[in-house]
Chains A and B, each alone.
Chain A
Amino acid sequence: MSSLTAVLILVCLAGVFGALLGYAAIRYRVESDPIVEQIDEILPQTQCGQCGYPGCRPYAEAIANGDDINKCPPGGEAGVKALADLLGRDIKPLDDTLEESQPTVAYIREDECIGCTKCIQACPVDAIVGAPKLMHTVIIDECTGCDLCVAPCPVDCIDMLPLEQDVRQWQWPNPANDTDDDNIIPVRQVS
């Protein structure tokens, strides 16, 4: 009799907990793999496709499924390091076939543009404005410098120019690498 009671209690408990877990699984369901989100967070979102995937998110999914972490040139060594930290993998040098790129921005030579809209279709972030048979131009602030618009252009009127640095983007150099002491405040020499 007592053994039957024990079995009954256990069965009831199992039922209750099972129902709870089942409910929780539906109620707190996570739409996608959270690790993919975290990887995507680190990737630079240039959507350039140099990794061989059509965008940053697909590459994030591929990394989560075991692909190499060293295929993103815009992210650079710093990006590889961050990914290695997140995933507990070893730091690998950036893939040799890809080179770390300087930040650039696309520039359309507007008088040569024939208005074919091919670059507009290629731009992953909708940073090019224009209409058929009318001149196109790039919204510099939105351009990620992925250079996907360069190849489709039939008249080769798109240049990738290095992002111009002005006074507002200027940074104090790191004194650890900077042997030139021109910028160092002369505090010490107040005689």
Chain B
Amino acid sequence: MNTNNNSVHSTELAGRSLDEIVYFSQHKFHGGVHPEEHKTLSNQSNIQALAIPPELIIPLNQHSGRQAMEVVAVGEQVKAGQLIAAAEGDLSANIHASSSGKVIAIEDRPIAHPSGMRDRCIVIATDGCDEAEWLPPIEHPFKADKQQLLRRIQECGIVGMGGASFPSHIKLMPEVNKLVINAAECEPYITCDDRLMREQANTLIAGIQLVMHLLNASEAIIGIEDNKPEAIAELKKTIKDAQTSASDKFAQNTSDLKNSSIKICVVPTKYPSGGEKQLIELITGKQVPSQQLPLALGLVMHNVATIYAIYQAITQGRPLISRIMTITGDAAQLKGNYLTRIGTPISFALQQADAESCDKVIMGGPMMGFEIFDTQAPVIKSSNCLIAAGKGELKATDAALACIRCGECADACPASLLPQQLYWFARSDDLEKAEQYNLFDCIECGACSYVCPSDIPLVQYYRYAKNELVQRAEEKQKAAHARERFEFREYRKKREKAERAERHKKAAEARKKAAHQKGQTDEKKATIADAVARAKARKKSSD
């Protein structure tokens, strides 16, 4: 179904004689796959707000970087938007209460993580009033100082919402020429960005202008897959309006934006075109160098949902306390996109979507997501999708067979790696070799596993190998640190010994000198006399 659909979309759009706003990508990336999309399951209805759950479980570590530090105590009343955990250092993010209520616990709770482990969370019993306390809006964002805007983004705890959850204010610090907006949403089932673009195109375009202003960028390109014609049309209309009329409420403030342009680059539907490096290659035709950031090409990429959050933070002072999440899958009766509060238990979200009788629950998409074992775990800032799989929808894997060296995986790899080689190296624990074969360029998209005729869980091997390499490097560093401390201690002991010997020598010399002065040549006698005198003095003082 998918391939047919793609060509239909493509010809439709191509037939419409593309203008200066919308254009087709002239480039492609290596590999990729075409899994069935299943997007129509959830993208037919408007975004709805999910009810306030009785209990919000808000993890302190929802971002890459250091865990935030709680700033509220158990028993405290909090309002929606109130800071409850503060960032520790720059590479961290603030966490806010998503609704009003009372903090009832700060403890380890199950979290949405592939390990199924527990982590520190703040638990809020909501009172249903949803009393909010936003920060003051920044009145004229286009006249505001860059530092002020960045500080606001940091205060509001905005992180990248495409998956990696990297704190956004860091990504916005440098000045670049080109801003790329990731609206590809290439993974099957997920439609939250699609719906957001259809319904909030105005806000998004204003948000893009804001971020361009922040980055001092003259050009923004929205990368979007051709399976979202409605969203493309909506964005195009909005961009046109913003360009032609002064109806845009920022237009009068945006003299510096007159020369700037926002364009939409339509890319063919192919997984994983939404990967950062893949989308950049599709748009610019250039590859981001291995182990480097897009900044190396003078551009920065943000997800549409992040842009939306940034816009809200700046113009409304609203921290990141909710996100749009797709709830889909055969078992969900009320499939669709929901505005979900961060910290909503997955079980509650499933109940609201009438999806409790599901076979298993996947967070994220079917290609890169993971299974949720405990549905008490909460929705976090990066949770874009919940798949409530019905019976037989996402079946258990067949046992892996032997590799037949067909090379399908190498054809499918979007990072142009040699998955088969990497697999052998990972299997034989020859990890240095795997690293030499650029293991760390693997984006874990799962295209290789998808095409493997022997059902080998290839990505699993790469994840294991990456983890193991990182851990070994950490151990080595720790050992070097321990050695340094050990050696310093040895040095200190030696120095103390030398110092003691020196002191004794000096004392002996002093005694000798004193004895000499008193005219007593016998050093021993002098020492004894000294000691007797000291003892007498002490006795006297104690009496």
Report how many residues on chain A are interfacial, defined by Cβ distance under 8 Å: 36
> In the complex, what distance in Å separates the CA atom of A73 from the CA atom of B36?
51
Contact present for A175 and B464 (CB under 8 Å): yes
Q: Are A172 and B464 in contact (CB under 8 A)?
A: yes
| B198 → A minimal CB distance (Å) | 24
Distance of A103 from chain B, by nearest CB (Å): 9
- A170 to B467, alpha carbons, bound, how many Å? 9
Give the distance in Å from the alpha carbon of A125 to the alpha carbon of B397 in the complex: 49
Quick one: which of A55, A142, A190 contacts B188, CB cutoff 8 A? A190
How far apart are the CA atoms of A181 and B400 in the complex, in Å? 10
Q: Is the CB of A191 within 8 A of B36?
A: yes
Interface string of B378-396 (1 = CB under 8 A from A): 0000000000010011111
Q: Mark B438-453, 1 if CB is under 8 A from A, else 0.
A: 0000000010011010
Contacts known (A126-B489, A190-B188, A191-B393); A181 close to B366, Cβ less than 8 A: no
* CB–CB A188/B450 < 8 A: yes
> Are B117's CB and A172's CB within 8 A?
no
- For A149-177 the 0/1 string (1 means CB < 8 A from B) is 00000000000000000111011111110
Complex Cα–Cα for A125 and B464 (A): 32
Question: B residues within 8 A CB of A172?
Answer: 114, 460, 463-464, 467
What is the CB-to-nearest-CB distance from B18 to chain A, in angstroms, rounded to a whole number? 31
Q: Mark A40-63, 1 if CB is under 8 A from B, else 0.
A: 100111110000000111000000
Does A31 sit at the interface, judged by CB under 8 A? no
Q: Closest CB-CB distance, B232 to chain A, in whole Å?
A: 25
Q: Check A124–B464 contact: CB distance below 8 A.
A: no
Q: Which of B119, B370, B468, B485 is within 8 Å of A185, CB to CB?
A: B370
Q: Collect the chain A residues with CB atoms within 8 Å of residue B489's CB.
A: 124-126
B residues within 8 A CB of A57?
A: 483, 486-487
Does A186 touch B at the CB level, under 8 Å? yes
Given A125-B489, A184-B457, A185-B449, A167-B111 contact (CB < 8 Å): yes
CB-CB under 8 A from B111, the residues of chain A are 167
A88–B107 Cα distance when bound, in Å, is 51
**Are the C-beta atoms of A175 and B35 separated by less than 8 Å?**
no
Q: Is B450 a contact partner of A187 (Cβ separation < 8 A)? A: yes
Partner of A170, one of B117, B362, B479: B117
> Which residue of the partner chain, among A44, A175, A190, A191, contacts B475 with CB atoms under 8 Å?
A44
Q: 1/0 per position for B468-499, CB-CB distance to A under 8 A? A: 10010001001111110111111000000000
Alpha-carbon separation in the docked complex, A183 to B471 (Å): 20
Return the chain A residue nearest B188 by Cβ: A190
State in angstroms the CA–CA spacing of A190 and B328 once bound together: 13
Instruction: Give the residue name and chain of the B residue nearest to A176 (CB).
Output: B427
Q: Chain A interface secondary structure, helix, strand, loop or mixed? A: loop
A144 is an interface residue with CB less than 8 A from chain B: yes
**Across the interface, do B114 and A171 meet the contact criterion of CB distance under 8 Å?**
no
**Cβ of B132 to closest chain A Cβ, rounded Å:** 30
Residue-wise interface mask of B (94-134) relative to A, using a CB-CB cutoff of 8 A (1 in contact, 0 not): 00000000000000000101110111000000000000000
Q: Are B397 and A181 in contact (CB under 8 A)?
A: yes
List, in ascending order, chain B residues with CB within 8 A of A167's CB.
Answer: 61, 111, 113, 115, 117-119
Q: Are B36 and A166 closer than 8 Å at their CB atoms?
A: no
- Taking a contact as CB atoms closer than 8 A, the residue among B468, B480, B486 that contacts A55 in the complex is B486
Q: Closest Cβ of chain B: how far from A163's Cβ, in Å?
A: 11
Q: Which residue of B lies closest to A125 (CB)?
A: B485
Contact indicator A184/B397 (Cβ below 8 Å): yes
User: Inside 8 A of B393's CB, which chain A residues have their CB?
Assistant: 189, 191
- Interchain CA distance A142-B482 in the complex, whole Å: 7
What residues on A are CB-neighbors of B36 within 8 Å? Answer: 190-191
Which residues of chain B come closer than 8 Å to A33, judged between CB atoms? Answer: none
Q: Is A111 on the interface with B (CB-CB < 8 A)?
A: no
Instruction: List, in ascending order, chain B residues with CB within 8 A of A47's CB.
Output: 482, 486
Complex contact B464–A174 (CB within 8 A): yes
Q: Smallest CB-CB separation from A75: which chain B residue?
A: B479
Cβ-defined contact, B366 with A166, below 8 A:
no
Whether B483 lies near A45 (C-beta < 8 A) is yes
Contact call B463/A45, Cβ cutoff below 8 A: no
Q: CA of A184 to CA of B396 in the docked complex: distance in angstroms?
A: 9
- Complex CA gap A44/B508 in Å reads 45
Distance (whole angstroms) from the CB of B138 to the closest CB of chain A = 35
Q: Which chain A residues border B452 with CB–CB below 8 Å?
A: 188
Contact A45 B479 (CB under 8 A): yes
Question: Does A182 lie at the interface of the complex (its beta carbon under 8 Å from any beta carbon of B)?
Answer: yes
A176 contacts which chain B residues (CB < 8 A)? 427, 461
Contact A185/B459 with A171-B468, A174-B464 known, Cβ cut-off 8 Å: yes
Residues of chain A with a CB closer than 8 A to B395's CB: 189, 191
The interface residues of chain B lying within 8 Å CB-to-CB of A188 are 397-398, 449-450, 452, 455
CA distance in complex: A173, B467 (Å) = 9
CB of A151, distance to nearest CB on chain B (Å): 18
Contact between chains at B366 and A190 (CB < 8 Å):
yes
Q: A175-B457, A185-B460 are in contact. Are A142 and B373 (CB under 8 A)?
A: no
Closest to B367 in A: A187
A85 to chain B minimum Cβ distance, whole angstroms, is 11
Q: Which residue of B lies closest to A186 (CB)?
A: B394
- In the complex, what residue of chain A is closest to B480 when comparing beta carbons? A45
Task: Tell whether A186 pairs with B362 under 8 Å between CB atoms, given A172-B467, A175-B457, A175-B461.
Answer: yes
Contact B446–A56 (Cβ < 8 Å): no
Whether B369 is near chain A, meaning CB under 8 Å from some CB there, is yes
Cross-interface CB contact of A171 among B368, B373, B397, B464, cutoff 8 Å = B464
Q: Do A45 and B119 touch across chains, with their CB atoms under 8 A apart?
A: no
Q: Taking the nearest CB of chain A, how far is it from the CB of B321, in angstroms?
A: 22
Find out whether the CB atom of B457 lies under 8 angstroms from the CB atom of A185: yes
Complex Cα gap A185–B35 (Å): 14
- Interface flags, B360-380, vs A, CB<8A=1, else 0: 001000111111010000000
| Nearest CB of chain B from residue A79's CB, rounded to whole Å | 11
Decide if A183 touches B362 in the complex (CB within 8 Å): no
Taking CB atoms, residues of chain A closer than 8 Å to B397 are 181, 184, 186, 188-189
A187-B485 contact given A167-B117, A173-B464, A175-B460, CB 8 Å threshold: no
- A122-160, CB < 8 A from B: 124-127, 142, 144
27 A–B pairs (Cβ distance < 8 Å), ordered by A: A44-B475, A45-B478, A45-B479, A45-B486, A46-B482, A125-B482, A127-B485, A142-B482, A168-B61, A170-B113, A170-B115, A170-B117, A174-B464, A175-B457, A175-B460, A175-B464, A184-B397, A184-B457, A185-B366, A187-B35, A187-B449, A188-B449, A188-B450, A189-B393, A189-B395, A190-B38, A191-B392
Residues in A lying within 8 Å of B, measured CB to CB = 40, 43-47, 55-57, 124-127, 142, 144, 166-168, 170-176, 181-191
Closest 5 CB pairs of A and B: A45-B479, A172-B463, A171-B467, A45-B482, A125-B485
Told that A142-B481, A182-B371 touch, could you supply 11 new A-B pairs with CB distance under 8 A?
Answer: A45-B486, A46-B482, A125-B482, A166-B119, A167-B61, A168-B61, A171-B471, A187-B366, A187-B459, A189-B394, A191-B393
